[in-house]
A = this chain, B = another copy of it.
Amino acid sequence: MAYFSKHYHSPGTAPGTLIVRGAAAQPLSINLIDYTEAGVEEHQLDSPEQCRSFLEHDSRTWVQVNGEVNPDMLRNLGAVFNLHDLALEDVINTGQRPKVELYDNQVFIITTMPVYDGTRLELVQVSLFMGKNYLICLCPLAEDPFEPVRKRMRQTSNVRFATRGIDYLLYALLDLIVDAGFPVLEQFGDQLEDLEAELLERPSQQTLSSIHRLKRELLILRRVLWPQREVITTLMRGEDEFIHTETLVYFRDCHDHSIQIMELLESFRDMATSMLDIYLSSISQRTNETMRVLTIIATIFIPLTFIAGVYGMNFHNPASPWAMPELGWYYGYPMVWAIMISVTVTLVWFFKRRKWM
């Protein structure tokens, strides 16, 4: 994942401009669920225009748009639901900071859902518009991540969803988005533990690069999860009439989860930083050991080799009593060995005393 993953128009572009970079990679689908206490209706739409009829009567309407949106479709949607230009720009320029924007009779929410397949962390921007009796959810993934909510809606036969306001649906979606952080962090936690074992037993360049990758992903994840927590706080503050008092207890639960995710994240970041220090210390410890072995071997053999070298000199002057007479002595050779052994013993004693052996 790139450090900088925000889409933006070039500075000075008029606010509310809708332009897409490149062609859409994910096909677009619009799914509409209309529900009352009487039952749940599902429709697959071709164009946002088709929503109009559902808005008129009293039912609750959930419009789920999956895949990469195009400017035309967005403008169309904006016209049907009376969405603000700046909000539409934020939908198309993915990589936004999670936020809540309160308009006169509409709430606009940007959130980020982390998706992790074990090797690649992806941050998916989910944009939500909530009005009096409708909720629009735009998600760039082709596959709908909110299928579990739809399932519950069908199963529980309107008991919970239909009796409570549209804000309960908002909670259900936000809760899923926030809770998506738990499996991601669980995987990170497992990776931390694997790295920890590797670190203390056999640190390698590979370990280093894994720690770095982990730190990076935690950092990028943190950048989107901090403001996400604020999003829920803002919604909970209850300054607008959209969130009912009886739904607040659910939002509070969701808020607790988002705090716990942040705390887990921060503690993982702490440990990853600490692991870098451990890595360095561990490598230094190994260098120190290697060094000690080299020093012991070299320090013992270098003097011995010197002694052997001395008696390898060719001072052949039979006339001089000073010309290496040792070479001719009867016990000369054993004497040299005696010297060499005593040198070795002395050095070994020295190393033992210094606790190097």
Contacts and interface: CB of A to CB of B under 8 A. Distances in A.
Interface of A: 2-4, 6, 8-15, 84, 86, 96-97, 99, 101, 103, 146-149, 152, 156, 160, 175-176, 179-180, 182-183, 185-186, 188-190, 192-193, 196, 200, 202-205, 208-209, 212, 215-216, 219-220, 222-223, 226-227, 249-250, 252-253, 256, 259-260, 263-264, 267-268, 270-271, 273-274, 276-288, 290-295, 297-299, 301-306, 308-317, 319-320, 322-324, 327-334, 336, 355-356
| The 8 nearest A-B residue pairs measured at CB | A12-B148, A4-B189, A308-B309, A311-B313, A11-B179, A3-B189, A312-B312, A294-B295
A175 B249 CA distance: 28
A314 B317 contact: no
A290 B289 CA distance: 10
Given A8-B182, A12-B147, 11 more contacts: A4-B190, A10-B148, A13-B148, A14-B156, A215-B271, A219-B271, A283-B288, A291-B294, A312-B313, A315-B327, A322-B332
A263 B192 CA distance: 25
Contacts of A312: 308-309, 312-314
B267 A220 contact: yes
A196 B212 contact: yes
Given A4-B264, A97-B260, A315 B332 contact: yes
A97 B256 contact: yes
Instruction: Give this chain's copy count.
Output: 5
A336 B324 CA distance: 11
Contact of A208 (B96, B190, B270, B281): B281
A311 B313 CA distance: 5
A175 B290 CA distance: 53
A104 B215 CA distance: 44
Contacts of A160: 14
19 contacts: A3-B264, A3-B268, A4-B185, A4-B189, A6-B260, A8-B182, A11-B176, A14-B160, A86-B253, A196-B212, A227-B263, A298-B302, A301-B306, A302-B305, A311-B315, A316-B327, A317-B327, A322-B333, A323-B332
Contacts of A355: 202
A79 to B, nearest CB: 18
Contacts of A249: 84, 86, 101, 103
Contacts of A3: 189, 192-193, 264, 267-268, 271
A190 to B, nearest CB: 7
A264 B15 contact: no
A65 to B, nearest CB: 19
A334 to B, nearest CB: 5
A278 to B, nearest CB: 5
A152 to B, nearest CB: 5
A302 B303 contact: no
Contact of A301 (B284, B294, B303): B303
Contacts of A287: 284, 287-288, 291
Nearest to A321: B330
B288 A298 contact: no
